[in-house]
Amino acid sequence: MSVLFPKIPALLHGGDYNPDQWLDRPDILEEDIKMMKKAGVNTATVGVFSWSALEPQEGNFQFGWLHDIMDKLYENGIYTVLATPTGARPAWMDEKYPSVLRVEKDGRRNHHSGRHNHCMSSLEYRSLVEKMDTKLAQEFGNHPGLILWHISNEFGGECYCENCKKRFQEYLREKYHNNIEELNKQWWTSFWSRRFDSFEQIEPPYDNGEHSILGLNLDWKRFNSWNMKDYLAFERRILKKYTPQVPATANFMKLFEQLDYVDLAKEIDIISWDGYPSWNNDYETPADTAAELSFDHTVMRSLKKDKPFMLMESTPSLVNWHSFNKLKRPGILRASSIQTIGCGSDTVQYFQWRKGRGAAEQFHGAVVDHLGRDDTRVFKEVSEVGEILKKLAPVTGSKVTSKAAVLFDWSNRWAIKDMQGMARDTKNYEKEVRKFYNIHLKKGINADIVFPLEDLSSYSLVVLPMYYAVSKEAGEWLKEYVKNGGTVVATYLTAYVNENTLAYLGGFPGAGLGEVFGLYAEELDTLYPTDSNSVLMKDGNKALVKDYCELIKLTGAEVLGTYESDFYAGMPAVTVHSYGKGKAYYIGTRMEETDLIKFFTPIWSECGIKEKELPEGVEYLTRTAEDGSTFDFYVNYNATPATVQLAKNGTNLLNGEAVSGKVEILPFNAVVVK
C-alpha cells in the first residue's frame, strides 16, 4: 500500500479555495466551512496566487489570515494543501525588479501582467521566492492540518531574456562537453553555412532568429523544460529544508507541450494534475471523452508508477475557457470521479470551491456559485461525489499494474513536430499514442505509458508508436528488451534520427534496431487526406490505411500484410521478426483502431495479456491492493443501462451489496467490486 497521506486513511475530496478573495466577508468564510462539511470535503488547496495577500508590500508579510483559515479548516476536519504563491507576482515586484519579467520570442520584455510571467533564470526572482517560501515553511510547516506543498501553479511558458540566453549557452556547453565541433556535428551546421565557432554565438530561436537548425530548436525546448525543472527543484529544496516530512507536488497538465514531465517528476513527491475534458461536446460521445480522460490519467499515473496520483483540479460544472463552455450534464461528475479513482487517483479535487466575483475566471464552474446556495444541482452532485468517495475509502493506496505498455516521449514529440517533411497537419503523434493506448482500454486491458530507458521487465508487450528520434542508448535498451523475450510493436517512422535529430545512415530503423525488426524502410509516402490504401493481412483481414505508408524492404522479417494498391501494391506493410527470445512487430503504415485491435488480438494472447469483452461505452479499470486483491471498476458512460459480465464476484463498494455474474450498471454510474 502506498497511502499518500498517512494522516488521512481515505480518498481526498476538496479543491482550490481562495479565502483571500473574501477577507472582508467573514460571513462568507464561515458559510464556506459549513458548506464544505455538507459536501463531504476533507481537503482545501489554499494560497495559490496569494502573494499579494501574503506580502502586500515588499517585506510586509501578512500570515494572520492564513493561520485563521488553516486553523478553522483543521478544526473542522479539513486538511490543507498549501501552495507557494509563486504562480504570479505582486505589482510591487514588477515595478521594483523589472528583470523578473519574461522576455518573449520577439525580444520584448513583458509588462507587469498575468500569471507565469517571471523569468525562471532570474536570480532576483529566486531570491524573492526564497524569502517567501522560507517564511511560509517556517510559519506553517508544523501546522497539523498541512498535508502537502503545492509548488507554484501549472508551470509553463518560455523566456528569451539575456540571462536565459546565457544559461542556454551554458546548458549546451555542458551537454556538448565544451566542444563546439561536437555540437556542429550533431546539429549538422554544415547545412546552409550554419557552423558555430563558439557557444557564445548561439542564440535562442527568436521569432526573427534562427529556425533552420532542428537540433537547436530541440535543444532549446529541452533547455526550457530543464530550466523549469531547475526552478521547481529550487523551490522544493527550500521547503524540504524546513519541512522534510511534508511531500511536495506541482500540478501538471496532461500532455502539456512545453515540459518534459518525466524529467520534472523527478523533483516532486506526488504527481497531481488538472483535468478539464470537454464533456458533452458535438464531436464525440461522452464515452470517447472518458477514454481520453483515462489516457490522460494513465500518462500522469505512469510518471510515478509506485503510488497513486492526485486529480488536483477539475470542474464541478463548466469551464470558462473552452470554445464552448457547456454545462457538465448530470451524472458526468459522478461517473468521471469514480473513473478517476479507478485510474489510480486517490483524490477528486476541484477548481474551485467558490466563484470569485471578478476577473478572468469569475464564471469558471465552482462548487459554490455566486448565488451562494447549497440546493443547486451542482452542489448536490458534488455532495454525492463526497458520499461516494467515502464508500470507496478501501481503495486508498492501492495501485494499478499492467503487462502492456505504450511508449510516449516528449523529445520525440518535439522532434516530430519540428520535422520538415511528411505533412504539416497530419503527423498527429499524440493522437497515435492515444490510439494505441485506446485499443487496450477498449478491451479492458490496463496499459501503462512508458518512457525511454525505463525498466521494462514487468511488461510482456511494449508498443512504440512513431518512435522517430531514438538515441543509440534507447536503441540498445529496446534491443535488450526484445532479446530477453519482450515483444515490441513499432510503426512507420521508427528510429529515423538520433536524439539530436541527426538522420541515421544505412537504413531506417536506425539506432541498431534494423536487425531487431529485420527490415529497412526505403521510402515514406505521405498521402493527402482524400488518399488511402489498404493492407491485406495474412489472416485475410483488410485494413484501410491512411496518411503514411512506408515502402519496406526485408532483411529477415516475415510479411504479415501487404499493400493492395498504388505503385507499391504487393510490398510488405506489416511484418514480424524474431529476435533473441522476443518478437518485433512492425506496422509500416497508419491503421485504424478496429483493425489494430484485430491485429493485436493474437499478440496479446502470445504475451499472456487477458482481454475482456465490454459493452460499448463501458470502461473496466482495476486497482490492486498490497495483498494482491483487486478493485474492479466498471463505469458506464452510456445514457442507458449497460450489462457487464463481472471479471470476479464480490461486494459492490458503492452500495455494499454482493454482486456476481452479470450486473446491470445505471447510466453514468458504476459498479466497484472488491
Q: Which of residues 208-267 bind its own copies (CB under 8 A)?
A: 208-215
Note whether 18 binds its own copies by CB under 8 A. yes
Candidates 10, 262, 293, 378; binder of its own copies (CB under 8 A) is 378
Residue of 236, 594, 299, 603 whose CA lies nearest to 434: 299
Residues 6+ positions from 219 with CB-CB distance below 8 Å = 171, 172, 175, 500
Q: How far is the CB of 405 from its own copies (least distance, A)?
A: 29
Q: Which is nearer to its own copies, 47 or 342 (CB)?
A: 47
Which amino acid, residue 322? Answer: H
Q: Are 415 and 469 in contact (CB under 8 A)?
A: yes
Q: Are 417 and 258 in contact (CB under 8 A)?
A: no
Distance CA 29, CA 16 (A): 14
Binding string, residues 303-322; x marks residues near its own copies by CB under 8 A: --------------xx-xx-
Distance CA 151, CA 268 (A): 9
Q: How far is the CB of 4 from its own copies (least distance, A)?
A: 28
Catalytic residue among 55, 158, 267, 313: 313
Q: Which stretch binds its own copies (CB under 8 A): 133-141, 250-258, 384-392, 495-503?
A: 495-503
The neighbouring-strand residues paired with 552 are 521
Active site residue 154: yes
149 labelled binding-site residue: no
Distance CA 109, CA 118 (A): 10
Q: How far is the CB of 114 from its own copies (least distance, A)?
A: 5
Q: How far is the CB of 113 from its own copies (least distance, A)?
A: 4
Note whether 570 binds its own copies by CB under 8 A. no
Q: How far is the CB of 394 from its own copies (least distance, A)?
A: 32
Q: Are 269 and 303 in contact (CB under 8 A)?
A: no
Burial class from Cβ neighbours inside 10 Å (0-12, 13-18, 19+) for residue 214 reads: buried
Q: Which is nearer to its own copies, 220 or 631 (CB)?
A: 220
Q: Which of residues 23-42 bind its own copies (CB under 8 A)?
A: 23
Note whether 480 binds its own copies by CB under 8 A. no
Q: Are 366 and 354 in contact (CB under 8 A)?
A: yes
Q: Which stretch binds its own copies (CB under 8 A): 143-151, 241-249, 518-526, 584-592?
A: 518-526
Q: Which of residues 73-92 bind its own copies (CB under 8 A)?
A: 85, 87-92
Q: How far is the CB of 330 from its own copies (least distance, A)?
A: 5
Burial class from Cβ neighbours inside 10 Å (0-12, 13-18, 19+) for residue 630 reads: middle
Q: Which of residues 113-152 bind its own copies (CB under 8 A)?
A: 113-115
3-state secondary structure 365-402: CCCECCCCCCCCHHHHHHHHHHHHHHHCHHHCCCECCC
Residues 6+ positions from 76 with CB-CB distance below 8 Å = 33, 36, 37
Q: Which of residues 39-58 bind its own copies (CB under 8 A)?
A: 49-53, 56-57
Cα-based distances in Å from 218 to 30, 179, 205, 505 = 51, 18, 10, 20
604 labelled binding-site residue: no
- Preceding peptide of 26 cis, ω within 30°: no
477 labelled binding-site residue: no
Note whether 188 binds its own copies by CB under 8 A. yes
Candidates 45, 186, 302, 396; binder of its own copies (CB under 8 A) is 186
Q: Which of residues 432-471 bind its own copies (CB under 8 A)?
A: none
Distance CA 315, CA 340 (A): 13
Residues 6+ positions from 71 with CB-CB distance below 8 Å = 145
The neighbouring-strand residues paired with 447 are 404
Distance CA 146, CA 223 (A): 34
Q: Which is nearer to its own copies, 208 or 457 (CB)?
A: 208
Residue of 409, 377, 136, 117 whose CA lies nearest to 255: 409
Q: Which is nearer to its own copies, 124 or 203 (CB)?
A: 203
Catalytic residue among 154, 381, 432, 550: 154
Note whether 99 binds its own copies by CB under 8 A. no
Q: Which of residues 529-568 bind its own copies (CB under 8 A)?
A: 529-531, 551, 567
Site size with its own copies, rule: CB under 8 A: 114
Candidates 9, 26, 98, 107; binder of its own copies (CB under 8 A) is 107
Candidates 355, 440, 443, 590; binder of its own copies (CB under 8 A) is 355
Distance CA 355, CA 18 (A): 9
Candidates 362, 484, 629, 655; binder of its own copies (CB under 8 A) is 362
Between strands 272-274 and 251-252, the pairing is parallel
Note whether 327 binds its own copies by CB under 8 A. yes
Q: Which of residues 393-432 bind its own copies (CB under 8 A)?
A: 419-426
Q: Which of residues 574-603 bind its own copies (CB under 8 A)?
A: none
Active site residue 664: no
Note whether 182 binds its own copies by CB under 8 A. no
Candidates 110, 258, 401, 624; binder of its own copies (CB under 8 A) is 110
Cα three-residue angle 39-290-307, rounded to 5 degrees:
70
Q: Which is nearer to its own copies, 420 or 457 (CB)?
A: 420
- Binding positions for Zn(2+) are 119, 159, 161, 164
Catalytic residues: 154, 313
Binding annotation: 115, 119, 153, 159, 161, 164, 321
Known binding-site residue numbers for substrate: 115, 153, 321
